[in-house]
Structure 1
Amino acid sequence: MTARRGLFVAPFDALADPRVVGDLAVAAEAAGWDGFFVWDHLQYGDRVREIADPWTCCAVVAARTERLVLGPMVTPLPRRRPQVLARQAASLAVLSGGRFVLGLGIGDDWVGEFGGYGDETDAKVRGRMLDEGLTVLTGLLSGEPVDHEGAHYTARGAAFRPAPTVPIWLAGRYGNRAPLRRAARHDGFFVIGLDGPNDVDRVEQQLAAHEPAPGFDLVVDLRPEQDPAPWLDRGASWVLTRIGPYDLDLDDVRRLVEAGP
């Protein structure tokens, strides 16, 4: 099966305007891209001055396109409340007509994105928060009653509607086993930091040991200058082209998008 092609867009600086992001998504759909995914960050170091909210961007993309798969890639669940996230995800699934994918991970505190706001800085604790948060989140998205009292989250007698289908992709760095195991229990694995196309085969073998469900997505991303050809038809279901994070020039981005996959 030939991999689908998407854009992995940092809504930073020249792209830190949801209207601009919406224009790019419209151009991407016209050019034949299959997906449009936006980064979720509060800050990104000294070289990035302006950042747009990914949820606002996703809403604009959902409203202005008809075919593109879209979503935040990825949202750190440990800095969010799963019940609020469930409402946001369900609404975007409805708004997009079922094209929304929820990308989740533990996040990274390398620029103080957690510690600077009093959020959890220990990666192992964030991993436990992610696992528990997924239990609450998926329960609420199912539309069934949820009663949960845990170390980090509580949901008493909650039952959310609407309950559209929301695929969940989990992100993790290549070689880390915990994210891969976690992803195999859901709908996809966005693997970060692959050295070359042969690594896709290794990830596939590791995933197979955990028996993911049929239709499971394996997602990789490349820099714009990387040739996608060696990565296609290697088992990955999505090959994304990264836009950002630094020195974004809107005209250059438009040319890349309009050139198509």
Structure 2
Amino acid sequence: MVGMISPMTTRRGLFVAPFDSLADPRVVGDLAATAEAAGWDGFFLWDHLQYGERVTDIADVWTCCAAVAMRTERLLLGPMVTPLARRRPQVLARQAASLAVLSGGRFVLGLGLGDDWVGEFGAFGDEPDPRARARMLDEGLDVLTALLSGERVEHDGAHYTAHGARFRPAPAVPIWLAGRFGNRAPLRRAARRDGFFVIDVDRPDDLGVVGADLAGHRPAPGFELVVDLRPEQDPAPWLDRGASWVLTRIGPYDLDLAEVRRIVEDGPAASVLS
């Protein structure tokens, strides 16, 4: 295997869209409790304001994360991913720190550029230009991580300002950055943080390419490489290719609660053996 990540055990998680039949934080909390009992290691939630005409109901990701934190004791959890460019870094820092405390240190903050294909930015007057959002993401990351450090922050930038701010409590909050396979800018950005959620990677062998590219940027020890698969995909070929997390995707369309519960209850071992 080529790459800098060689996990002893690849962890398995769920990547859940809180849409339609799952657009209820109580249902999400129930599913998370079931997932923990079934042996899953993580429970991560999509963060969207709208998702086209095929999705009608959507739950707030932060409320859902709080429900997951309260209903579980072991699962890692978090939004996967939040477009930082539509958030104020200072508000996000408070939310992330509070969820880290609420979960007992199990919160992971997934961040990315976001897509405007259904008007999640332009429809609300947020920045529609992905190049501008990338600049906002980079600056916002600097402000966010400074605030999460608990140290005094002085920042006066093109998009964000923080004067004399010092946020406490300051629990550890891992940050994973997302990006599509083959796009080098998100990979470089992720290598400076705690993990990379690589989207649209089609073949297990492609993880070797990702790992080699990441190795060139010398990420810190413990860096996480994350992929997601559809429920019908066999995860076995992915488990020894360098991914430290393999997630099973739940959503986005035609979500049947009974079928979702079956996937969750069957646990990660069932999908490996099937």
Same fold (TM over 0.5): yes
The superposition leaves residues 4-51 of structure 1 with CA deviations (integer Å, 9 ceiling, x where unpaired) of 000000000000000000000000000000000000000000000000
Q: Please tell me whether residue 135 in structure 1 is matched to residue 146 in structure 2.
A: no
Match of 2:243 among 236, 239, 245: 236
Q: Please tell me whether residue 29 in structure 1 is matched to residue 41 in structure 2.
A: no
Identity of aligned residues (%): 82
| Aligned positions of 1:8-27 closer than 5 A | 8-27=15-34
Give the superposition deviation at 1:195. 1.2
Match of 1:258 among 245, 261, 265: 265
Match of 1:197 among 204, 224, 233: 204
Give the superposition deviation at 1:65. 0.2
Amino acid corresponding to residue 120 of structure 2 in structure 1: E
- TM-score, normalising length: structure 2: 0.95
Q: Please tell me whether residue 100 in structure 1 is matched to residue 123 in structure 2.
A: no
CA distance, structure 1, for counterparts of residue 247 and residue 65 of structure 2: 17
CA distance, structure 2, for counterparts of residue 7 and residue 201 of structure 1: 23
3-state SS of paired residue (1:147): strand
Give 5+ residue unaligned stretches, structure 2.
1-7, 269-274
Structure 1 partner of 2:152: 145
3-state SS of paired residue (1:189): strand
CA distance, structure 2, for counterparts of residue 172 and residue 6 of structure 1: 18
Match of 1:48 among 55, 78, 101: 55
CA distance, structure 2, for counterparts of residue 143 and residue 170 of structure 1: 21
Give 5+ residue unaligned stretches, structure 1.
none
- TM-score, normalising length: structure 1: 1.00
Structure 2 partner of 1:89: 96
CA distance, structure 1, for counterparts of residue 23 and residue 224 of structure 2: 29
CA distance, structure 1, for counterparts of residue 83 and residue 125 of structure 2: 15
Amino acid corresponding to residue 132 of structure 1 in structure 2: E
3-state SS of paired residue (1:221): strand
Give the superposition deviation at 1:234. 1.1
The superposition leaves residues 61-103 of structure 1 with CA deviations (integer Å, 9 ceiling, x where unpaired) of 0011000000000000000000000000000000000000000
How many residues are paired up?
Answer: 261
| Aligned positions of 1:164-179 closer than 5 A | 164-179=171-186
Amino acid corresponding to residue 127 of structure 1 in structure 2: A
3-state SS of paired residue (2:213): helix
Give the superposition deviation at 1:221. 0.2
CA distance, structure 1, for counterparts of residue 16 and residue 147 of structure 2: 28
Q: Please tell me whether residue 7 in structure 1 is matched to residue 14 in structure 2.
A: yes
Q: Please tell me whether residue 113 in structure 1 is matched to residue 120 in structure 2.
A: yes
3-state SS of paired residue (1:260): helix
CA distance, structure 2, for counterparts of residue 233 and residue 137 of structure 1: 34
CA distance, structure 1, for counterparts of residue 82 and residue 240 of structure 2: 28
Amino acid corresponding to residue 51 of structure 1 in structure 2: I
CA distance, structure 2, for counterparts of residue 216 and residue 24 of structure 1: 28
